Every structure is written in structure tokens, then in C-alpha cells.
């Protein structure tokens, strides 16, 4: 077991792991990312720290495990207060949690309905994906970031998922920039942040991974 | 600080019950408004345009949607009485994990028990009991999930008790026989006025389920 105080059981392509790493970077914290081989065999540490779901990310703080990325990001924000990722007022926090919950319920599944489809991508799947992005665009409005002028909780929950959008665009035959330009601009803004750029892999790499995964699953 | 509080709700909703319990625990007065889900009010559609679902908590005209977010909001705003969420960040994260687990599993598995038959129902029953046993493990020897007093996990889980009789009748099994510790915990919770007043009668919920089965054409 590592001597590092902060450890993340990780997978480079997991947007959920990326959330945790971005939050740690935002707080200027040192951590060790232990790569898990999700296809070859999960480590004993992963299986014992997350016996219910057996999934990454798992965050270990002095050996004490926490699971579920949104919960981990919340914990990081509450334990290391500067800079704050959530707004100071209760209503603002409720709004941030609402959008994080919406993103968790909708975005990755909508991506999956496109990149997992065999043959022609169903029109409803593309429509639903764009509709979700438009709802998020509306929530963003004219702000630079979701809950105001500073990069925060909702941005951290969402931006890693966009690393899968290139794959979705290629397979779906559309572009996010053409359909949702405001959303596209927000993506570019976030990707310029060092905390994000250090963590989010190049979209082409994710696309290669998706193609390999499709072959493995017999979709291609 | 109380201001104007309205809860848009639907009597058998376990999610609405969570907010009812939280408000009752803290002794906060509010206006309860029953929604007809076949004919949703303009107010509901305006306050929750994204999901169009209940419960919605409206505080001084501003909506808070999603029951777990409402309970956290209530706990933060009225923090001086009956705290529900642990003050220690690690304990808080663990409590959130279990509430998230309850949200992912209990409602969906319970729904499968009353909506399906045969192998699908049998699998749902098996997994439902497994989930309750995991929760029993988390409870351990504590009085409540929150320790000596009702906490976030208790508030999130106990509403489903009002649906247990319906699950048992539809699934032909006894939850108490499989998970006695869980039922013992439920009975402790039901002794609290905030819980007893917020949960509908189990027979009433069962009648409601039978109506739903008729409407959906389920045997």
C-alpha cells in the first residue's frame, strides 16, 4: 500500500476519475494516481475499498476510502477549502448540486446511446444528446462558468465527459460546435485551465479507445 | 429565516416523504400542496421545468428540486435544530454514499417487484433483499444510521417502508423474515412523530399500487 497520503485508484479514460484529479489539481494538492487495469484484473485494493460497485475512482485519504466521483469532489472541497468549488450560499449550492445530478443522470448514458450503437445511429439518440446539451447551455446562459464567474463544481463534473464527445461526434456524424456553439465555447474555456489540461486526454486517444471497445464488444 | 415555504408533493411519493420528515424534524412550518400527477399544475411545471417532477420545495419563491438536494438544503438553512447531516467531512461523504446507493437501488428494485412476474420478479426480490442486508451491515448496532439521532441516511431510507407491504403482497415474501434488523430499525424510526406523521398508511399505498397495476394493465 502506497505511503502517499492522497491516492486515487484511476483509469486514464474514465471521466469520473478525471473529475477527482481536476478537483485535486484545483486545490494544489499532491496525489498518487494508481492505474487500474479494468480489463485485465482489478487490484485487491480496489475490490476491498469499493466492494459494492468495484469501480474507479476510489479516493483514499490516509487509507480511508471514498467512492462515487461527485461525492469525492464534494469531500475534497469540504476538506480543503481553498479555492472553494461550491458557492457560499445554500441556495447556490442547491443549484450546483441540481445540475451535477442532471449531468450524472443524463450525459454519459446519452453518449453511450450513440457510441454503443450498432450500424446506423438512431435519430432519437442524436436528438436526445443535443437536447441535453441545449438544456445545459440554457443553464450556463451568458456566464463564463456554470455557477458564475469562477470555475467550480458543475464545470468539474461536466468537463471530463466532453473528452468523449469527439468519439460521439465521429460515430454520430455531427459536431457539438455546430449544434451548440455556446457549449463548445465553454468547453474550450475550461480546457485552457491547467488543472483540466493536465488531466483530460486528447479526444483522438479517447476515440481510439472507444473504437477498440466497440470491437471488443462485437459492435464493429 | 423561515420565510415562505411550499412543498409540491404527492402523498405516496417516498421522495416527498424525505422532505416532509426533514421539515418536521426541524419543526419548520410549510404549506403542503398535493399535485395530481396526471394533471400537473402550472406552478410545478414552472418550478421544475427540467424534470417536471415532485417533490419541489419552494423557499421564498425559489425552487429546490430533487429530494436529496432538498434535505441537504433544509439541513444547511435550518442548521441550528436537529442536524441531519454529519459535521465531519468523511462521515458526511459516507452518508452521501449510502443515500446515493439507496437512490440507485431501492426504488427501481421495488418497482420491479410490483410491476413484474416470474424470473424478473424473482431476481428483483433477491437483489432487493441483498441491498437491504448491505444497509443492515452499515447500520450495525447503531440505533439509527445517524447514530443516536435520526440522520440523512435514515431520512432517505425510511420512506420506502410505507411501500414494503405492497412489495410483500405483490412479491409474496416477508421483508421482516429476511431482514429483521431493518424492520427493528424501521419501528424505532416510526416512534418518532416526524416520521410517523410523514408516512402514509401501508394499506393505502398497497391500494394505490393495485390501482396503478390496473391502469398499466399489469396482472
Q: Per-residue pLDDT tens for A20-56?
A: 999 999 999 999 999 999 888 999 999 999 999 999 9
pTM above 0.90, yes or no: yes
Q: Are residues B98 and B61 in the same domain?
A: no
pLDDT band of A1, cuts 50, 70, 90? very low
Smallest Cβ distance to B62: which of A67, A74, A91? A91
Position A3 scores a pLDDT of 52
Q: Are residues B211 and B130 in the same domain?
A: yes
- B64 chain-A contacts, CB cut-off 8 A: 91, 94, 98
- A49 chain-B contacts, CB cut-off 8 A: none
Domain boundary among B77, B104, B127: B77
Grid cell at residue A118: 450498432
Q: Are residues B17 and B106 in the same domain?
A: no
Q: In this complex, do A101 and B89 lie within 8 Å of one another by their Cβ atoms?
A: no
pLDDT, one tens digit per residue, over B120-150 is 999 999 999 999 999 999 999 999 999 999 9
Inform me whether the C-beta atom of residue B77 falls under 8 Å from chain A C-beta atoms.
yes
Give the strand order in the sheet containing B62-65.
B31-34, B5-9, B56-59, B62-65
Q: In this complex, do A66 and B72 lie within 8 Å of one another by their Cβ atoms?
A: no
pLDDT band of B1, cuts 50, 70, 90? very low
- A134 chain-B contacts, CB cut-off 8 A: none
Grid cell at residue B193: 412523530
Share of chain B above pLDDT 70, in %: 99
Q: Are residues B53 and B124 in the same domain?
A: no
> What is the extent of the structural domain holding B190?
89-216
Considering the four listed CATH numbers 3.40.30.10, 3.30.450.150, 1.10.287.1080, 3.30.70.100, the one that applies to the domain covering A6-79 is 3.40.30.10
Q: In this complex, do A98 and B65 lie within 8 Å of one another by their Cβ atoms?
A: yes
Q: What is the DSSP secondary structure assignment for residue A51, as one 8-state letter? A: T
Shortest distance, CA A59 to any CA of chain B (angstroms): 11
Q: In this complex, do A135 and B65 lie within 8 Å of one another by their Cβ atoms?
A: no
Grid cell at residue B86: 454529519
Contacts of B202 (CB under 8 A, 6+ apart): B161, B162, B163, B164, B165, B166
Q: At how many degrees (to 10) do helices B161-171 and B14-25 cross?
A: 150
Q: Are residues B118 and B207 in the same domain?
A: yes
Give the SS3 label for residue A31: coil
Nearest-Cα residue of chain A relative to residue B104: A105
Q: In this complex, do A75 and B93 lie within 8 Å of one another by their Cβ atoms?
A: yes
Q: How far apart are CA A199 and CA A132, in angstroms?
A: 24
Q: Where are the domains of chain A?
A: 6-79, 90-217
Q: Are residues B15 and B102 in the same domain?
A: no
Q: What is the DSSP secondary structure assignment for residue B63, as one 8-state letter? A: E
Q: Are residues B105 and B23 in the same domain?
A: no
- Is the model's pLDDT at B86 over the cut of 50? yes
Of A40, A85, A33, give the one whose Cα is nearest residue A59: A33
Domain A90-217 architecture: Up-down Bundle (1.20)
Smallest Cβ distance to A98: which of B69, B97, B100? B69
- β strands within A64-132, DSSP E: 64-67
Q: At how many degrees (to 10) do helices A203-216 and A165-172 cross?
A: 60
Contacts of A157 (CB under 8 A, 6+ apart): A19, A69, A70, A73, A99, A100, A103, A104
Amino acid at each position: 500500500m502506497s505511503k502517499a497520503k492522497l491516492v486515487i485508484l484511476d483509469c486514464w479514460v474514465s471521466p469520473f476519475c478525471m473529475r477527482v484529479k481536476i478537483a485535486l489539481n484545483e486545490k494544489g494538492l499532491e496525489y498518487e494516481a494508481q492505474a487500474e487495469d479494468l480489463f485485465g484484473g482489478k487490484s485487491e485494493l480496489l475490490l476491498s475499498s469499493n466492494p459494492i460497485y468495484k469501480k474507479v475512482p476510489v479516493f483514499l485519504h490516509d487509507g480511508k476510502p471514498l467512492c462515487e466521483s461527485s461525492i469525492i469532489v464534494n469531500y475534497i472541497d469540504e476538506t480543503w477549502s481553498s479555492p472553494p468549488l461550491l458557492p457560499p450560499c445554500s441556495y447556490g449550492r442547491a443549484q450546483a448540486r441540481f445540475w451535477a445530478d442532471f449531468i450524472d443522470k443524463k450525459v454519459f448514458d446519452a453518449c453511450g446511446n450513440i457510441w454503443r450503437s450498432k450500424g446506423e445511429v438512431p435519430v432519437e439518440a442524436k436528438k436526445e444528446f443535443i437536447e441535453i446539451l441545449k438544456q445545459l447551455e440554457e443553464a450556463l446562459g451568458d456566464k463564463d462558468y456554470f455557477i458564475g464567474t469562477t470555475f467550480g463544481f458543475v464545470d468539474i463534473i461536466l468537463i471530463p465527459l466532453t473528452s468523449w464527445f469527439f468519439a460521439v461526434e465521429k460515430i454520430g456524424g455531427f459536431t457539438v460546435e455546430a449544434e451548440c456553439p455556446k457549449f463548445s465555447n465553454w468547453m474550450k474555456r475550461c480546457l485552457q485551465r491547467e488543472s483540466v489540461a493536465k488531466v483530460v486526454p486528447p479526444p483522438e486517444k479517447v476515440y481510439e479507445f472507444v473504437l477498440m471497445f466497440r470491437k471488443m464488444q462485437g459492435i464493429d | 429565516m423561515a420565510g415562505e415555504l411550499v412543498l409540491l408533493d404527492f402523498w405516496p411519493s417516498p421522495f416527498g416523504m424525505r422532505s416532509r420528515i426533514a421539515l418536521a424534524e426541524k419543526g419548520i412550518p410549510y404549506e403542503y400542496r398535493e399535485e395530481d400527477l396526471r394533471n400537473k399544475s402550472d406552478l410545478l411545471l414552472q418550478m421544475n421545468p427540467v424534470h417536471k417532477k415532485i417533490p419541489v420545495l419552494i423557499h421564498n419563491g425559489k425552487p429546490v428540486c430533487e429530494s436529496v438536494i432538498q434535505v441537504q438544503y433544509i439541513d444547511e438553512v435550518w442548521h441550528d435544530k436537529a442536524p441531519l447531516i454529519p459535521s465531519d467531512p468523511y462521515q458526511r461523504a459516507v452518508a452521501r454514499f449510502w443515500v446515493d446507493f439507496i437512490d440507485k437501488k431501492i426504488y427501481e428494485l421495488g418497482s420491479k417487484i410490483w410491476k413484474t412476474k416470474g424470473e424478473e420478479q424473482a431476481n428483483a426480490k433477491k437483489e432487493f433483499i441483498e441491498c437491504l442486508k448491505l444497509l443492515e451491515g452499515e447500520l450495525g448496532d447503531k440505533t439509527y444510521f445517524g447514530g443516536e439521532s435520526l440522520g440523512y441516511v435514515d431520512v432517505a431510507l425510511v420512506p420506502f417502508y410505507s411501500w414494503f407491504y405492497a412489495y410483500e403482497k405483490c412479491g409474496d415474501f416477508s421483508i421482516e423474515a429476511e431482514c429483521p434488523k431493518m424492520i427493528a430499525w424501521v419501528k424505532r424510526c416510526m416512534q418518532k412523530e416526524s416520521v410517523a406523521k410523514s408516512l402514509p398508511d401501508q394499506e393505502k399505498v398497497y391500494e394505490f399500487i393495485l390501482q396503478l397495476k390496473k391502469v398499466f394493465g399489469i396482472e
